[in-house]
Structure formats: structure tokens, C-alpha cells
Structure 1
Amino acid sequence: MMFTEKANAIFQEVIDTYHIKDDVYQSFTNKYDKENDLIAHLLYRKCWIDTVQWHYEDIIRDPNIDPVAALDLKRKIDASNQDRTDMVEYIDAYFLDLYKEVNTKKDASINTESPAWGIDRLSILALKIYHMNEEATRSDASDEHRAACQKKLDVLLEQRVDLSTAIDTLLNDIAAGDKYMKVYKQMKMYNDDELNPVLRSQK
């Protein structure tokens, strides 16, 4: 099985599980034990974060949202973004460990993004596909709406094939020593009370 076959299946599993309750405040349980299948554990958690945040973003766009509730939700989105970034780094750490014994070839090249950032996009793409499919099959929508959404869905499905192929190719190239990966920690400044001038002024 190619890596992205596993990833896409887990992402679909997460999204389906979330939508049983369809509630951003529902409890989270990771069905994959990190001791037995670390990468599945990380992928499941990553997609759950993305799925909850997707719905946070829907809620905060309500033009009638209470300003206090909107501020609270903005804080949740900020925290979710940090969790998302952390999970990307955990996934890249998994691949760094997985390929640590590979003898990189002298002419090996580096990719524009690490494997985990490609996987991040694949997770978001799974959410786009799920929700665009909802719109393409929504019974109370017009024929024109459904047709337009079906065209978008077709593009998204094609994009998933292309992105999955690119990720699998990158992982195979790293495993063969044709490419190498480096991970640069995200140096976000706005959450750091030493780097954000507004936070620093409150100390």
C-alpha cells in the first residue's frame, strides 16, 4: 500500500466520525495507539484538528455572531493553528527517524516542502472534497448549484490524485537517497510574548 492510500483512508475515517455528532465541542478519542502505529495516530489527530478548525471557520463567519463569542472563537482558532503546526512537525519528525539510515546520494536534492506539509494539504483537501460533495448532492439546492459544485468536486478529486502521487514520489525518492529532507521549526512570532510587541508590552 502506498503511504497516501493509508493517509487518505484515515482522513476519511476522521471526517466521517466527526460528522456523526458534527459538534466542534465533542470529545476527541484517537482510535490508533501511538505505540502500535505511530503514523496512523499522528494522521488521525492531525485531521481531527483540521476538521474542527474547518467548522470553527464556518461559525466565525456568521454575520450575527456575538462579538464576545467571536473573540473567544478567534482564540480557539489561534490555538488550533498552533496545534496544527505542532502536528506537522511531529509527522516530519516521524519521517526523519524513518529515513535516518538512508545513504543520501551526492547529487540528491531537497524538495520545496517537507513531506508533512504536503500531508497537511492532503488533509485539508479531504475536507474540501467532503463538503463539496455535500453541496453537489444537496437536495434543497438548485440544479445549477449542484452542477457547479460537481465540477469543482471533479477538480478536487483530480487534485487529490496528483497530490497523493507527488507525496508518494517524494517519500520514495527520500527512501532511495535521491532527495533529502530538512525540517525548519516554525518560528511564529505572534504567540511569543517576547517577540510580539503587543504581548511584550503587557509584561
Structure 2
Amino acid sequence: MISAIANNIFQRVLEDYHRYDDIDHPMENPFDNQSLEHLLYLKCWIDTMQWHMEDVVRNPHILPQEGLNWKRRIDKQNQVRTDTVEYIDSYYLHQYRDVQTKEHARINTESPAWAIDRLSILALKIYHMDQETKRTDVERAHILSCQSKLDILLEQRKDLSQSIDELLSDIASGDKYMKVYKQMKMYNDPSLNPVLYKKTP
């Protein structure tokens, strides 16, 4: 099942990243660059870097210019994240290109890769919530609250994993079909963002 593979890879990414806990540490993807596993590792690494960028930019004592630099870096990272999701969807479009869609086939509300995107973010939430349950510098009420949240996140991962596996099974059997829409982000495009195309020299 792809969800089990993805969840194992995401856990490996989190362990690899937190061995250094450095946003700028270079990624060492252990998988063949033509494989789905490579894309899954890359996807979670990108998410992990962005997670920690979001932590940094929320420092209430950050200098305005430094905060702006981080915000711009987060914007660029988010575009890389979106591009990687689309690469994963391209993998599945190619994999299922010869499937004969049944007459009653239905479309899903999201593509497989965007569901996998949610699974990667869940891995991050679970990892960091689990860390909160292990703190020794907080009241017991904090530990109990975080444990309750962790339990919910784990149940959510179980449900989402099952849904992803069922979606891919339905696509493979022709009971559902993929229809992928590119993310047409406008704010980074100088021809579409009015603040950019109306900018005076």
C-alpha cells in the first residue's frame, strides 16, 4: 500500500532532518531520482524545511527586514512544494495512463498527490506533537493536552492513509479517474500580480 510506503519515508525524513535540525542542511535523498520514493522523500523534506521556516518567522523579536526575508523565502519554498506535488501527480497520471475508465467512474475531490501532501503535513504534526508530550519543562496539563491532540492526529493519519489507498485502488480499477488542475498561483507571477506589473521603475 502506498500510504505505508509514504508514511515510512516521511518518518525517515523527519529523523534525517532532525539529526541536524538545520534549515540549510543539504538534503541527501537516498532513493533513485526516477522513483516515486525519491519524490516522496523530497516532498516531505520540503515540507519540513518550510515548517521550521514558519517557526522562525513567528519569533516576536525578529527584526522586520529579517522577517521579510524569511517570508519571501517561505513563498519560494511553497512554490517548490506545489511543483513537487504536481510531479507526483504526473507520476500517477503516467502509471494509470492505460486504465480503461468505467462508465460509472467518478472523479475525486482532490488528486492523489494533494492527498499525499496532507499526509506529509500530518507526519510533521505528529512528530512535533509527540515531542511536546516528552517535554520536562512544562506542567502536566500541557502534556495531557498534547497527548490528546496526538491521539487525534494518529487517528487522522490512519483514516487518511486508508482513503489514499482506496483512491489509488479505485483509479487502478477504473472506478475513479484522475483529473489534475495545475495550481495557477498568481501572486508570484509578475504578469498577473497587479502590485508587480504596476510597479513603477
Question: 1:29: Cα distance to partner?
Answer: 1.8
In the TM superposition, what are the counterparts of 1:1-203 in structure 2 within 5 Å?
2-35=1-34, 38-202=35-199
Question: 1:136: Cα distance to partner?
Answer: 1.0
State the alpha-carbon separation in 2 of the partners of residues 169 and 115 from structure 1.
Answer: 10
State the alpha-carbon separation in 2 of the partners of residues 23 and 90 from structure 1.
Answer: 26
Question: 1:96: Cα distance to partner?
Answer: 0.3
Question: 1:134: Cα distance to partner?
Answer: 0.4
Runs of 4+ in structure 1 off by over 6 angstroms are none
Question: 1:198: Cα distance to partner?
Answer: 1.0
Deviations 1:34-87 (A, max 9, x none): 23xx10000000000000000000000000001111111011100010001000
State the alpha-carbon separation in 1 of the partners of residues 130 and 19 from structure 2.
Answer: 17
Tell me how many residue pairs correspond in the alignment. 200
- Report the identity percentage: 61
Deviations 1:162-201 (A, max 9, x none): 0000000000000000000011011111111110011112
1:113 maps to a residue whose letter is: E
Deviations 1:100-154 (A, max 9, x none): 0101101100000000000000000000000000001112221111011000000
Question: 1:161: Cα distance to partner?
Answer: 0.2
1:162 maps to a residue whose letter is: D
| Structure 2: stretches of 5+ with no match in the other structure | none
Secondary structure of 1:21's aligned partner: coil
State the alpha-carbon separation in 1 of the partners of residues 18 and 44 from structure 2.
Answer: 13
TM-score (norm 1): 0.97
1:60 maps to a residue whose letter is: V
| Structure 1: stretches of 5+ with no match in the other structure | none
State the alpha-carbon separation in 2 of the partners of residues 120 and 162 from structure 1.
Answer: 15
TM-score (norm 2): 0.98
State the alpha-carbon separation in 2 of the partners of residues 169 and 18 from structure 1.
Answer: 30
